[in-house]
Amino acid sequence: NNPPYNTGAFRFELTFSPNHPLEPPCATLRTPIYHPSVDLEGRVCQPLTTHGHWEPATRAIQVLQDLLLQLDSPDPRRLLRPDVARELQERPEEFRRRAEEHTRLHAEPRPD
Active-site pick, 27, 45, 85, 107: 45
pLDDT band at 102 (very low <50, low <70, confident <90, very high): very high
- State the CATH number of the domain containing residue 41: 3.10.110.10
Within a domain: residue 76? yes
User: Prior bond to 111 cis, omega within 30?
Assistant: no
Residue 45 falls in the annotated catalytic set: yes
Within a domain: residue 90? yes
Q: Is the separation of the CB atoms in 66 and 46 below 8 Å?
A: yes
Domain of 96, in residue numbers = 12-106
Q: Which of 21, 18, 78, 80 is nearest to 54 (CA)?
A: 21
**Does the pLDDT of residue 60 top 80, yes or no?**
yes
Within a domain: residue 5? no
Query: Each residue of 77-92: b (16+ CB within 10 Å) or e?
Result: eebbbeebbebbeeee
Within a domain: residue 35? yes
pTM for the model stands at 0.90
Within a domain: residue 4? no
Within a domain: residue 88? yes
Q: What is the pLDDT of residues 14-42, one digit of tens each?
A: 999 999 999 999 999 999 999 999 999 99
Q: What is the pLDDT of residues 85-95, one digit of tens each?
A: 999 999 999 99
Number of structural domains, the chain?
1
Q: What pLDDT is attached to residue 74? A: 85
